[in-house]
Amino acid sequence: MISKPRGTRDFTPEEMKKRRWLERKMRGVFERYGYEEIATPTIEHLELFTLKSGEGIIEETYAFEDKAGRKLALRPELTAPVMRFYVERFQMEAKPLKFYYFGNCFRYDRPQKGRYREFWQFGCELIGSDKPEAIAELISLAYNILRESGLRNVIVRVGNLDILRKFLDSIGARDAEIMRLIDKKDFEELQKRMGSEEFKKFEEFIGVKNIDEIEYEEAERMKEVFDFLEEFGIPYNLDLSIARGLDYYIGIVFEIDAPRLGAEKQLCGGGEYNLVPLLGGRKVATAGFAIGFDRTLLALEIEGAEFGEEEKPVYVAYMEGMIKEAIKIVKMLRQQGIKAEMDLMRRSISKSLDYANKKGIEKVIIVAPDEWKENMVIIKDMKSGEQKKIAIGEITKEIHS
Ligand code: HAM
């Protein structure tokens, strides 16, 4: 037996129905905010991700050489690919550009509940505006996608890397390792690295809940963003301890959690970043976020959410010798937009009815020779058990009733 690679998953029909349902929901919200879908390859040049994604991501990247010796990688995220695409194709377009995407990502992580080696992200990138209302609308979009998916408990935290970095400079404790430890919330290690005096100041700093208490210049812009967030009706929390795991972030950053998910509770992460100049493009404001699709599903399941009623097919059974007539019926139903299945096992009528019962099918059409001569079929309602003859021309109306 060959099993699937560690950290990957197969999806059953039931799971795929839920996933497609959630995908439609999320896509609908992006579209309503005027975002347009784009797609990029699953593999990229490794260099795209080593440019500025940070140590963490590089360690986690699935990298390999192709047959010509090119260094390639399975994408660990989609922001760098989208920026590559932007620099290649869209620099001249009218701003702002609003792109969204849905795709699989790969990270060589330690798998656990909510953390996989192959997972899916729904995300977007806003290119061309760094106005406070643009950032507020972006956060509002992320929040509304999660809420409209049906989640009741989500917490939005907004931070600022310029403020955090300035503070760390002021206590002489700014380096990549410290940023990584802040992102991992490894306070024990942080205390060791910073020294207890500095760590105390740090604790005080990240305990600030009101932006008015911050005196750095960037606090003014944060206040404007918060003001617009209130206008959009989005509940938020100031969290100056957000460090983000990727190195390309600058300025305002945010995360959204589902507190009930436990260790892997972060559903969404994003913020302002700087990648375009590194990729050879002209300087432009960029911000975005990505929602962990798999974690959002887990959070919905924990909350006992409804995933929308599934449409059951009409099942067409037939008596011996009536196979072509059954095909005519199933073909007609499908042409009329009705989800229909016919018996493909050459079962008897009673066996077909057993099968329909097991599958939770509600309506069965029985094609029988006597009725066929009168241009009629039998339709059976599996819930009530009621069975009647109807004209072929009336089937659609009957099914919709
Ligand atoms: P990220 O925070 O690395 O950001 O990932 C975004 C989300 O993807 C996380 O909040 C989490 O829900 C989900 N996620 C990450 N790793 C895994 C995993 N191993 N298994 C399951 N879900 C996972 C980014 O990737 C940025 N590109 C977001 C962004 C877009 N920033 C600006 N634009």
Confidence of residue 268 (pLDDT cuts 50, 70, 90): very high
Establish whether the linkage from the previous residue to 76 is cis, with ω within 30° of 0: no
pLDDT over threshold 80, residue 153? yes
Q: Are 125 and 142 in contact (CB under 8 A)?
A: no
CA of 191 to the centre of ligand 1 (A): 27
Give the ligand 1 atom nearest the CA of 268. Answer: 10
Predicted confidence band of residue 245 (pLDDT cuts 50, 70, 90): confident
260 vs 271: which has the higher pLDDT: 271
At 56 the pLDDT is 64
The protein residue whose alpha carbon is closest to atom 14 in ligand 1 is: 292
Cα of 212 vs centre of ligand 1, distance in Å, is: 30
Q: Which domains does the chain have, with CATH numbers?
A: 13-302 (3.30.930.10), 314-399 (3.40.50.800)
Mean pLDDT, rounded, for 68-80: 96
Whether 319 and 369 have beta carbons less than 8 Å apart is answered as yes
Average the pLDDT over 266-293 and give the result: 97
The residue whose C-alpha atom lies closest to atom 7 belonging to ligand 1 is 292
Report the pLDDT averaged over residues 16-25: 96
Distance CA 285, CA 276 (A): 9
Residue with tokens 């604790």: 203
| Ligand 1 atom nearest to CA at 246 | 3
pLDDT band at 279 (very low <50, low <70, confident <90, very high): very high
Token pair for 283: 């300087």
Question: What is the best residue among 98, 105, 122 to mutate for testing ligand 1's pocket, by most ligand atoms within 8 Å of CB?
Answer: 105
Answer yes or no: is pLDDT of 257 > 80: yes
> What pLDDT shows up at residue 387?
96
Q: Is the pLDDT of residue 53 over 70?
A: no
Q: How many CB atoms lie within 10 A of CB 369?
A: 12
**Predicted confidence (pLDDT) at residue 309 exceeds the cutoff of 80:** no
For all residues of the chain together, what is the average pLDDT?
95
CB under 6 Å to ligand 1: residues? Answer: 77, 79, 107, 109, 115-116, 119, 121, 123, 125, 245-246, 266-270, 273, 288-290, 292, 294-295
What is the whole-number distance in angstroms between the Cα of residue 6 and the centre of ligand 1? Answer: 19
Query: Is 102 within 8 Å of 40 (Cβ atoms)?
Result: no
Kindly report the protein residue whose alpha carbon is nearest to atom 20 of ligand 1. 115
54-73: per-residue pLDDT in tens? 666 678 999 999 999 999 99
- Joined together, the tokens standing for residue 290 give 């990505």
pLDDT at 368 over 80: yes
Indicate the pLDDT class of residue 307, thresholds 50, 70 and 90: confident
Q: How far is residue 42's CA from residue 271's CA, in Å, rounded to a whole number?
A: 23
Q: How buried is 168 (Cβ within 10 angstroms: 0-12 exposed, 13-18 middle, 19+ buried)?
A: buried
Q: Between these two residues, 51 and 370, which has the higher pLDDT value?
A: 370
> Do residues 165 and 174 make contact, with C-beta atoms less than 8 angstroms apart?
yes
Lowest mean pLDDT among 23-32, 108-117, 242-251: 242-251
How many whole angstroms from 119 Cα to the centroid of ligand 1?
Answer: 9
The CA distance from 213 to 219, in Å, is 9
In this predicted structure, what is the pLDDT of residue 58?
Answer: 74
Centroid of ligand 1 to alpha carbon of 286 (angstroms): 17
pLDDT band at 308 (very low <50, low <70, confident <90, very high): confident
SS3 141: helix
Q: Which numbered atom of ligand 1 lies nearest the CA of 117?
A: 19
Q: In the prediction, which pLDDT does 54 show?
A: 62
**Residue bearing the CA closest to ligand 1, atom 4:** 269
What confidence category does residue 44 fall into, taking pLDDT thresholds of 50, 70 and 90? very high
Pure H helices in 233-335? 293-302, 323-335
The CA–CA distances, whole Å, from 226 to 62, 124, 215, 235, 363 equal 38, 21, 16, 9, 54
User: How much is the average pLDDT of 179-190?
Assistant: 93
Residue 311 confidence (pLDDT) = 82
Q: Minimal CA–CA distance to 241: which of 127, 160, 139, 148?
A: 160
CA of 164 from ligand 1 middle (Å) equals 21
Q: What residue owns the CA closest to ligand 1's atom 11?
A: 292
Ligand 1 atom with minimal separation from the 290 CA = 28
Question: How far apart, in whole angstroms, are the C-alpha atoms of residue 278 and residue 373?
Answer: 75
86-95 residues labelled b (16+ CB within 10 A) or e (exposed):
bbeebeeeee
Buried b (16+ CB within 10 A) or exposed e, 101-110: bbbebbbeee
Report the predicted TM-score, pTM, of the whole model to 2 decimal places: 0.92
Pocket test for ligand 1, best of 9, 77, 289 (most atoms within 8 A of CB): 77
Whose alpha carbon is nearest atom 13 of ligand 1? 292
Ligand 1 atom, smallest distance to 80 CA: 27
Residue 394 has pLDDT above 90, yes or no: yes
Which residue lies with its CA nearest to atom 17 of ligand 1?
Answer: 115
- Give percent above pLDDT 90 in the chain: 90
Sheet holding 97-106: strands in order across?
36-37, 97-106, 118-127, 286-292, 266-273, 249-257, 155-160, 237-238
Measured N-to-C along each axis, helices 218-232 and 161-170 cross at an angle, to the nearest 10 degrees, of 150
The residue whose CA has the least distance to atom 15 of ligand 1 is 292
CA of 367 to the centre of ligand 1 (A): 53
Whether residue 183 has pLDDT greater than 80: yes
